Structure 1
Amino acid sequence: MPTRNVHLTEHLDQFISAGISSGSYSNASEVVREGLRLLERREREDQARVEWLRTAATDAFDSIDRGEGTTFDSMEELDAYVRGVGAEVFADEAVRRRA
């Protein structure tokens, strides 16, 4: 297994020590590997969000080009619509995380 030397801040060193002291991890390598796994997962999720946004934007612009856009009579209506779309996105994300 490859090894690397990494310089840590005092805070991160203490964080690793606390994880080992608590019994959550056996050694510093386990802590670092877990952190890297979480970072890798977050980057995958971020990329999925970007792809979703690109698709949603393309679909929205295509809809507008076809004359199917949505009009709003007030900022309140627009705000409510945007909040509803946001709730859908979070719900979709929650379903994906459970899968």
Structure 2
Amino acid sequence: MPTRNVNLTAEQDAFVEDVVRAGKYQNASEAVRDALRGLQQRLQADDLKLELLRGQVNAGLEALERGAFTEVDGDALDETLDGLVANRR
């Protein structure tokens, strides 16, 4: 297994020591590997969210090009946005 040296803050080091001492991991390497798996999962989820957001932006741009939108003036903007939020709940 490859070895890599990393620098931790005092707080991070204390956290790793705490979780090992508490028996959640057998050693610091296990704790750090688990943290890296969590980071990988978060980055994958972020990529998926970004892909979905881009799809929604493209759908919105296509709707604009088709003229499929409702124009809202400044006075009605707050009420319109409140209505959209209420409909999502």
TM-score, normalised via structure 2 length: 0.84
* Identity over aligned pairs, percent: 38
Q: CA deviation at 1:78?
A: 2.1
Letter in 1 for 2:83: A
> Which residue is equivalent to 1:93?
none
Q: Offset of 1:65 from its aligned partner?
A: 0.9
SS of the equivalent of 1:40 reads: helix
Distance (whole Å) between structure 2 residues aligned to residue 42 and residue 51 of structure 1: 14
Higher relative contact order (CA closer than 8 Å, sequence separation 6+): 2
User: May I ask how many residue pairs the two structures share in their alignment?
Assistant: 86
Structure 1 residue 84, shift from structure 2 partner = 5.9
Give the Å deviation of 1:38: 0.6
Structure 1: tracts of 5 or more residues without a match: 89-99
Deviation at 1:6, TM superposition (A): 1.1
1:14-93 aligned at under 5 Å gives the runs 14-72=14-72, 74-75=76-77, 76-81=79-84, 83=85
Structure 1 runs, 4 residues or longer, greater than 2 Å off: 70-73
C-alpha distance in 1 between matches for 2:70 and 2:17:
55
User: Cα RMSD (Å) of the superposition?
Assistant: 2.0
Which 5+ residue runs of structure 2 have no aligned equivalent? none
TM-score (norm 1): 0.77
Cα distance in 2 for residues equivalent to 1:21 and 1:60: 52
